[in-house]
Amino acid sequence: MPAQPFVDKLNEQIANEFAAHQQYVACAVYYDSQALPQLARFFYRQALEERGHAMMMVQFLLDTGAEVTTPGVAEPRSRFADLVEPLALALDQEQRVSEQINALAATAREAGDYTSEQFVQWFIKEQIEEVATMSALLRVAERSREDAANIEDFLAREHPGDEAGDPTAPQAAGAG
Ligand SMILES: [Fe+2]
Ligand SMILES: [Fe+2]
């Protein structure tokens, strides 16, 4: 069984990941409403990734016989002033999640729970990528205030479709 402080924190993180899912759906819907299909597509896909993270955490708790609670989530922000704001919010969110994931690793280590610490490693690596992607997109968005075609073209070129699944990713509940 994972250490109880880790189980409690991981259940909180499941809520954070579902909240990230909802927030990214809200960003995608905003971009769709602004006729920015590449930004919308990027955020719809990002939302699914966040749901995937939550379900990987659910599967870990199931596999280790720990308690899982299915959380409610706070309402996401869905009004934005321009195309830059959702990306600024997304970068903020990813930086916050990186801190949360590091805190999870620290909790596992303090408890001598190396199984849980190892589980968290994949998420540490994933967060480096997500923060890098969002900060690059935010910079492109800031250059695209006058011409949204700029960031739409960038996304079509640099993030064309579903990236191949990561074979090192933890199993997600309900996916197998
Ligand atoms: Fe996530
Ligand atoms: Fe993320």
Distance from CA of residue 41 to its chain's centroid? 15
Q: Which ligand is nearest to the CA of 57?
A: 1
Q: How far is ligand 1, taken at its centre, from the CA of residue 17, in Å? A: 5
Q: How far is ligand 1, taken at its centre, from the CA of residue 90, in Å? A: 11
Q: How far is ligand 2, taken at its centre, from the CA of residue 50, in Å? A: 6
Q: In the numeric block, which tokens belong to residue 26?
A: 């809200």
Q: Which ligand is nearest to the CA of 18?
A: 1
Q: Which ligand is nearest to the CA of 54?
A: 1
Q: Which ligand is nearest to the CA of 27?
A: 2
Q: Which ligand is nearest to the CA of 93?
A: 2
Q: Which ligand is nearest to the CA of 134?
A: 2
Q: Which among 133, 127, 85 has a CA at the least distance from the CA of 105?
A: 127
Query: End-to-end distance of the chain based on CA atoms, in angstroms?
Result: 23
Count other Cβ atoms within 10 Å, centred on residue 49: 15
CA distance 162 to 148: 22
CA distance 17 to 3: 21
Model pTM score: 0.95
Give, as one character, the DSSP assignment of residue 20. Answer: H
Phi-psi category of residue 55: left, alpha or beta, with phi > 0 → left and psi -120 to 50 → alpha: alpha
Whether 84 contacts 142, CB under 8 Å: yes
Q: How do the pLDDT tens digits run along the chain, 176 residues long?
A: 999 999 999 999 999 999 999 999 999 999 999 999 999 999 999 999 999 999 999 999 999 999 999 999 999 999 999 999 999 999 999 999 999 999 999 999 999 999 999 999 999 999 999 999 999 999 999 999 999 999 999 999 999 876 678 889 999 999 87
Which residue type sits at 16? Answer: N
Q: How far is ligand 1, taken at its centre, from the CA of residue 46, in Å? A: 9
Q: How far is ligand 1, taken at its centre, from the CA of residue 146, in Å? A: 31
Q: How far is ligand 2, taken at its centre, from the CA of residue 130, in Å? A: 6
CA distance 173 to 52: 8
